[in-house]
Chain A
Amino acid sequence: MCEVALIGRPNAGKTTIFNGLTGLNARTGNWHGVTVDEKKGKIKNSEITVCDLPGIYSLNAFSPEEKVSEKYISENSDALFLSVVPATDFLQGVKTTLALLNKGVKTALVLTFYDEFIKSGGKLNINKLAAMLAIPVIAVNGNDNFDVKRLKKFALNAVNNTYVHTFTVKNIAYDFTSVFSPPLLKGNFSDKILLNKYLCPFCFLIIISFTFYVAFGEYSLGVLLQNAAVAAMNFLSLAVENFLYSAGVAKPVIKFVSEGLIGGAFSVISFIPQLAVLYLFLTLFEESGIMARIAFMFDDVFEKIGLNGRAVFSMFIGFGCTAIAELSTKSLDNKSLQKKTALALPFVSCSAKLPVYLVLVNTFFAKGKVVLLLFVYLIGVLLAALTAWLLNKFAFKSPQTFIMELPPLRLVGIKKLSKTLLYYLKQFIIKVGSVIAAVVIALWFLKSFSPSLNYVGENISASLLGTVGKLLKYLFYPMGITDWRISVSAISGIFAKEAIVGTLELLCPEGIRSLLTPAQALAFLCFCATYTPCLSALATIKKLIGGKYAFLCGVGTFIFALFFGYATYFIALSVQIANINPALVIFVIVAIVFITAVKLSVKNKCSNCHNCTDGKYEGNCKYEKRKIS
């Protein structure tokens, strides 16, 4: 049980205060519904527990997170409730405080964003308000150490009963006109751009392209940092290996330490610089309120496939890293929406797949490189959309009541940015990194030992991995692929997609041109684009929506990718035999998909008003109230 609980409307600044009081780094954001479950921590240098509750609009719970808060209040009526109210939205926020007072619980009012409120011309007489409500009222800035210390002192005194105050219950309607005058609403220039339907998509494309360039582009910050991390890890690995050799340690042990342990840690660390850059931008978008605007603008695009605007960002993060994109689905409205998004995300081509695409495309299709790459990315997006649509149609149909409060645009402080960034990275290293490291160690073991557990060194063909590869190669026969090394590389890709190219290089130093024909390469390319997501993504899915779905996702995508590969091989072979231009085939496929999508989206539109959609109105134009023939 917590002695102090933070309660209030979503995006009121509760988690920032919680972090200040406890010294923890819980995730914050300028976004409705960042906190989805109660978080507990101890007030710094004390034994008093403080609880951060999910945001609520009223004490009549509608959403799952509101239910968490409602249940908490009924079960912990002895706690001190710090009702967090943003001064900028005082009249709405104070309703929760009044509801708490009516419930008869010990309540104090904490005003946040007070500086912003005063700056925008608002007026609030705190002493008069405290006297009016007969409860303590404290104005704080969650990021200000002095304010947080003041609040901490108050909470400690109140809990230890050294703070004497009468908490009176009043059940009357309050009139705050004598104590409060609202801030002046000024038009925001940035909002005029971000909420313009012509400029917003353009800005969004620039923002996303810039983010990707800084994280993954040639000579970008992310790549430079990654190269530095790789060089440092190589140096460390070599130094340790030399030291162990000079100490006379047995070769398998040295290989285990340098390739298994250091290699495992290395595979995690090499991700971190680019992830840090991606997280940095993600945090910036979240905290500034840009993400909420993007969610609004693209909402109807996503509605068509059973998702809503909030899924936009997860999908775009998916182009960078599936595991992080999966993590970001946590902030989605409800569980079924989260499941649909989480299960559709693996089809979006992550940045780790790009080296595989490049190796195959450069080797076999140098002429139509750009078209083919775009085609592969497009296929990923279409399959993700199709998956979400199918799941919405047959498995997780949920009522879509997309109502969202648009948070104000805010500048993000460096302190807040670095704190949130650290939180994200910590989550990745502990929860996802540990899985990757364990798998890399296991992979090293599989490629270093034979089925009879003899050390095989560089003779991977005789290793456990080689044996498994030789068994699995039959799965690739319908793609015309008969070499076991291809199947081994595909298996290694399940651990981490980056491993495919590395494994191919390790197993086929002479290059892959001799292993595959163009038709087989295309089939393998399509297989790689769609098969099982890496283990870190699967681990995240398991953590978010359960092991059953992670298993279904892993096995389902593998089977799908196999059949997709078979079909691609069949089509490619037919095209080759018939001597048709491959670009024409791609064009025809894209055209068919586009026409089908357009037909599906306009099929049910009302022919009278062109506004009502789908079968909801059963052919009745809802404006004219007449049957459409």
Chain B
Amino acid sequence: MKLDKSVIGVKMKIKKLKMPVSEKSRLISLGINEGDEIVVESFSLFGGSVLLKAKNLKVVMRKELAEKIEVENV
């Protein structure tokens, strides 16, 4: 399942963080980890960045990175 505009507002679960260790550790230290529930809240003006809501924090990241987050429906 891809994190694109079709999933805005849909609650999903992170299946796997498919990215280099440095980026993965960054997300984990921010509070986003495998097994967490996330919601895509919004996209930036031209859709290049994505705003994710996980637990009680909101995190902004580039779409390329967000696409490395493998998700599944809750």
Contact = CB atoms under 8 A, between A and B. Distances in A.
Contacts of B29: 57-58, 60, 62, 95
Contacts of B60: 292, 295-296, 299, 309, 402-406
A196 B26 contact: no
A195 B8 CA distance: 13
B56 A296 contact: no
A301 B58 CA distance: 21
Given A62-B25, A402-B62, A403-B61, A300 B56 contact: no
B46 A91 contact: no
Contact of B44 (A58, A62, A297, A611): A297
Contacts of B61: 402-404
Interface in A291-313: 292, 295-301, 303, 309
B23 interface: yes
Contacts of A301: 45-46
A200 B42 CA distance: 12
6 contacts: A60-B29, A92-B30, A195-B51, A197-B45, A300-B46, A403-B60
A201 interface: yes
Contacts of B44: 197, 296-300, 309
Given A88-B56, A195-B51, A303-B62, A403 B45 contact: no
A74 interface: no
Contacts of A623: 2
A200 B56 contact: no
B35 interface: no
Counting contact residues on chain A (CB < 8 A from B), the size range is 35 or more
A290 to B, nearest CB: 14
Interface string A272-301: 000000000000000000001001111111
Contact of B25 (A60, A183, A400): A60
B3 to A, nearest CB: 11
A182 interface: yes
Contacts of A577: none
B27 A406 contact: no
Contacts of A62: 22, 25-26, 29
Interface in B30-51: 30-31, 41-49, 51
B30 A405 contact: yes
A401 interface: yes
Contacts of B49: 296, 299-300, 303, 309, 402
Contacts of A296: 44, 49, 51, 60
A172 interface: no
Interface string B1-37: 0101000000000000000001101110111000000
A57 B56 contact: no
A91 B26 contact: no
A309 B61 CA distance: 10
Interface string A86-118: 001101100100000000000000000000000
B51 A403 contact: no
Contacts of A374: none
Nearest to A92: B31
A185 interface: yes
B31 to A, nearest CB: 4
A403 B65 contact: yes
A616 B62 CA distance: 14
Contacts of A295: 60
Interface in A401-426: 401-406
A405 B57 contact: yes
Given A197-B44, A295-B60, 20 more contacts: A57-B26, A89-B57, A92-B30, A92-B31, A185-B56, A195-B42, A195-B51, A196-B42, A197-B42, A197-B45, A298-B45, A299-B48, A299-B62, A303-B49, A401-B62, A402-B60, A403-B30, A403-B61, A405-B30, A406-B60
Contacts of B43: 197
B23 A401 contact: yes
Contacts of A611: 4
Nearest to A197: B45
Given A197-B45, A300-B47, A91 B30 contact: no
A90 B60 CA distance: 20
Contact of B62 (A88, A95, A185, A400): A400
B48 A303 contact: yes
Nearest to B59: A405
A406 B29 CA distance: 15
Contacts of A401: 23, 26, 62, 65
A237 B30 CA distance: 57
A292 B60 CA distance: 10
A183 B56 contact: yes
Please give me the 9 A-B residue pairs with the lowest Cβ-Cβ distance, nearest first.
Answer: A300-B48, A57-B29, A406-B58, A58-B29, A92-B31, A299-B49, A195-B42, A296-B60, A404-B60
Contacts of B56: 88-89, 182-183, 185
Contacts of B65: 401, 403
Contacts of A303: 48-49, 62
A60 to B, nearest CB: 6
B22 to A, nearest CB: 6
Taking each of A57, A95, A183, which has the highest tally of chain B beta carbons within 10 Å of its own beta carbon? A57
A318 to B, nearest CB: 20
A199 B43 CA distance: 13
B23 A200 contact: no
Given A60-B25, A299-B49, A405 B58 contact: yes
Contacts of A195: 41-42, 51
